[in-house]
Amino acid sequence: MALDDDVVVVNGLNFEQRHGKERVRVARVWRNKDGRQFFVEWNVGISLLSDCVAAYVSDDNSDIVATDTMKNTVYAKAKECSDQLSVEDFAILLAKHFTLSYKQVTTTIVKIAEKSWERVSVNGQPHNHGFKLGSEKHTTEVIFKKSGVLQVSSGIEGLSLLKTTQSGFERFHRDKYTALPETRERILATEMSASWRYSFDSLYSIPKKQFYFTETYLDVKKLLADTFFGPPKEGVYSPSVQYTLHEMAKNVLSRFHVISSVRLKMPNLHFLPANISTKDNRSIVKFEHDVYVPTDEPHGSIEACLSRLSSKL
């Protein structure tokens, strides 16, 4: 991703550079006075756009913020967060720190993935300090410039969704290489990645509510899944992954006016009919929409972005 202030001219040539620290893993526990504890685990990536060209062309490291310093800063800032906060708020805190603390840094990009540790229940009661690991990850990307311009995105990685009916694929283009039969009855499964960009453009425009981003993330995730599945009894028919993807993105923009764009990637994970026969036995396994062969290689790849007309992607 190239940013406007990312390119300089060096010796008559365009030059882009950035440096940072990746895969900084940090966990944080908050303990309430009533004995209840809260836990997060984050994987942090930091990238600085800064005026340190001299390090590349003249062996002068004086303007480089050491990547080890970035790593240590992550732990120091996590320690300073005495109150529980969302992964987006922590990313904003880091981006603000690096951009404003170093005169040579013009822009900071912070990417964080949060593992889905969920509180467990024992005997019907939420456990004070017990957690189990879910599958999908809550992601965020924050870009903060010296000018004060802010960009915040949230997302989901690895959200696995499946429905056993109410899906088909018909009337697609056919040529001499097409072998796929048309169907109105199949399993629809995906491991979805989603990201959405908020319309906030400065620190001052961000809502002050403590768990605003966490609550919005959970609401968007629920809406995406609800759109995929449809009503609990009858469901909703999907004529293609493309159609369902568009409906999911459209519903997010309709429901959440603070979101300016949505990008979805939905690989089509196949469950192939199991038909097994031999010359002597034509129906060892005869497929009757009951036994399938799961496979995810190769798989279809469907991706699209939906944005408001005024949105800057």
Residue 313: its pLDDT value, please? 56
How is residue 169 annotated by DSSP? B
Say if residues 99 and 144 touch (Cβ distance below 8 Å): yes
Catalytic residue among 146, 246, 265, 270: 270
Lowest mean pLDDT among 5-19, 26-40, 281-295: 5-19
| Rounded CA separation 59/123 (Å) | 64
Residue 5: its pLDDT value, please? 62
Catalytic residue among 21, 137, 138, 221: 21
- Binding residues, by number, are 67-68, 169, 186, 241-242, 268
Residue 239: its pLDDT value, please? 98
Asked if pLDDT for residue 280 goes beyond 70, the answer is yes
Q: Tell me the pLDDT tens digit for each residue of 92-122.
A: 999 999 999 999 999 999 999 999 999 999 9
Asked if pLDDT for residue 154 goes beyond 50, the answer is yes
| Rounded CA separation 50/279 (Å) | 70
| Rounded CA separation 45/23 (Å) | 6
Asked if pLDDT for residue 206 goes beyond 80, the answer is yes
What superfamily would CATH give domain 14-148?
Urate Oxidase; (3.10.270.10)
- Binding residues for urate, by number, are 67-68, 169, 186, 241-242, 268
| Rounded CA separation 260/200 (Å) | 9
pLDDT band at 1 (very low <50, low <70, confident <90, very high): very low
Sheet strands side by side (includes 188-198): 19-31, 37-50, 105-122, 125-145, 150-163, 188-198, 259-265, 303-307
CB burial readout 27-49, b (16+ within 10 A) else e: ebeeeeeeeeeebbbbbbbbbbb
How is residue 89 annotated by DSSP? H
Active site residue 270: yes
Residue 311: its pLDDT value, please? 62
Model pTM? Answer: 0.93
Q: What average pLDDT does this structure show over 175-182?
A: 96
Asked if pLDDT for residue 2 goes beyond 70, the answer is no
Sign of CA dihedral 76, 17, 137, 263: positive
- Of 263 and 5, the structure prediction assigns the larger pLDDT to 263
- Binding residues for 5-hydroxyisourate, by number, are 67-68, 169, 186, 241-242, 268
Active site residue 115: no
Q: What average pLDDT does this structure show over 51-74?
A: 94
For the domain 159-197+207-312, what is the CATH code?
3.10.270.10
Residue 3: its pLDDT value, please? 60
Q: The tokens of 144 are what?
A: 């903060």
Strands 188-198 and 125-145: unpaired
Asked if pLDDT for residue 6 goes beyond 90, the answer is no
Q: What average pLDDT does this structure show over 74-96?
A: 98
| Rounded CA separation 173/9 (Å) | 49
Strands (E) in the chain, as ranges, are 7-10, 13-16, 19-31, 37-50, 105-122, 125-145, 150-163, 188-198, 259-265, 268-273, 292-300, 303-307
Q: What average pLDDT does this structure show over 282-304?
A: 93
Residue whose entry in the numeric block shows the structure tokens 């990685």 = 157
Residue 11: its pLDDT value, please? 79
Asked if pLDDT for residue 149 goes beyond 90, the answer is yes
DSSP lists the bridge partners of residue 24 as 44
Q: Please name the amino acid found at residue 192.
A: M
Residue ranges, CATH 3.10.270.10, the chain: 14-148, 159-197+207-312
Active site residue 127: no
pLDDT band at 225 (very low <50, low <70, confident <90, very high): very high
User: What mean pLDDT is reported for the chain?
Assistant: 95
